[in-house]
């Protein structure tokens, strides 16, 4: 593991088996005031997260031994909630889906602009600073036969409970509280990720497809609709 910057900024662990990339990322993050540690495999990343106070993990997908996807799945299965940014040389939509399915919060293809990586790091860390809403008064939102309990963070359609990840829940909550209003992609990115990843990002489309599979597939009335060239809307006809 690389030496750690003695600053008091958030601690970030970078896991990448490419030494040049790993060390350059550690230097970049330290220059921005973060505490940065570098490890070269998934097993070392797991050890770092389990034994240190880590605020964010930057995780390369392709590593020998325990790869990035397996590392991410293990952490999520253990209930570790820290933000995870996946890095990979693969940029196909299926690869993005695999990373997000494993529990990653964001996905960045190599080669990447250091300024974009830092912007995504800031966006993910901002999510940690948003205080959780009090759960003492649960407000239930209903659209057609879709029901969302904001306090308990639970969802049902037609009486059947639907398990949702954190981002899936936040995205569905945003759509339901704005029923009938078309939300632009940039607005959704700002509200959910606190950063607009731009028109080429596939993250939002991937999460919308997740929600459609869980909410709309097999139901006679699809609720989540695409407004081409604009964004998305949840609408009950």
pLDDT of 211 reads 92
The pLDDT of 229-235, averaged and rounded, is 92
Any idea what the CATH number is for the domain that residue 96 is in?
3.40.50.2300
The whole-model pTM stands at 0.61
Q: Does the pLDDT value for residue 4 go beyond 70? A: no
Q: Which residues pair with 56 in a beta bridge?
A: 12
Average pLDDT, the chain: 85
Residues 18 and 124 in one domain: yes
**In terms of residue numbers, what domain contains 220?**
140-234
pLDDT value, residue 130? 47
Same domain membership, residue 26 and residue 120? yes
- Which pLDDT score, from 0 to 100, does residue 21 have? 92
Q: pLDDT tens digits for 71-130?
A: 998 988 888 888 999 998 766 666 667 777 788 888 888 888 899 899 989 988 887 664
pLDDT band at 8 (very low <50, low <70, confident <90, very high): low
Which residues are within 8 A (CB) of 50 and not within 5 positions of it... i.e. 6 or more apart? Answer: none
Domain boundary among the residues 86, 108, 128 is at: 128
Confidence of residue 222 (pLDDT cuts 50, 70, 90): very high
Task: Identify whether residues 120 and 180 lie together within a single domain.
Answer: no
Residues 66 and 159 in one domain: no
Number of domains in the chain: 2
Q: Which of 201, 199, 225 is nearest to 212 (CA)?
A: 225
Residue 208 in any domain: the answer is yes
Domain stop point among 128, 152, 185: 128
Going by their DSSP bridges, the two strands 106-109 and 56-60 should be labelled as unpaired
* Tokens linked to 29: 């993050």
| Percent of the chain residues past pLDDT 90, beyond the cut | 43
pLDDT at 152: 84
Mean pLDDT within 59-73? 89
3 lies in a domain?
Answer: no
- Report the CATH number that the domain containing residue 180 is assigned in CATH: 1.10.10.10
In a domain, 135, yes or no: no
């Amino acid at each position: 593991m690389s030496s750690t910057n003695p600053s008091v900024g958030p601690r970030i662990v970078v896991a990448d088996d490419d030494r040049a990339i790993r060390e350059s990322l550690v230097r970049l993050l330290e220059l921005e005031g973060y505490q940065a540690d570098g490890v070269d495999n998934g097993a070392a990343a797991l050890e770092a997260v389990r034994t240190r106070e880590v605020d964010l993990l930057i995780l390369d997908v392709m590593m020998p031994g325990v790869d990035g996807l397996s590392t991410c799945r293990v952490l999520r299965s253990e209930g570790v909630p820290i933000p995870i940014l996946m890095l990979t040389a693969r940029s196909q939509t299926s690869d993005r889906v695999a990373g997000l399915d494993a529990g990653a919060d964001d996905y960045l293809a190599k080669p990447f602009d250091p300024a974009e990586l830092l912007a995504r790091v800031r966006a993910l860390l901002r999510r940690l600073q948003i205080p959780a809403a009090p759960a003492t008064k649960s407000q239930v939102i209903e659209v057609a036969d879709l029901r969302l309990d904001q306090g308990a963070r639970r969802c049902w359609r037609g009486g059947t409970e639907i398990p949702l990840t954190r981002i899936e829940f936040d995205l569905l909550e945003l759509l339901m509280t704005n029923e009938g209003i078309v939300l632009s992609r940039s607005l959704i990115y700002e509200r959910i990720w606190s950063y607009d990843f731009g028109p080429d990002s596939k993250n939002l489309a991937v999460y919308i497809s997740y929600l459609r599979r869980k909410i709309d597939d097999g139901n006679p009335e699809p609720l989540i609709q695409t407004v081409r060239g604009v964004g998305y809307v949840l609408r009950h006809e």
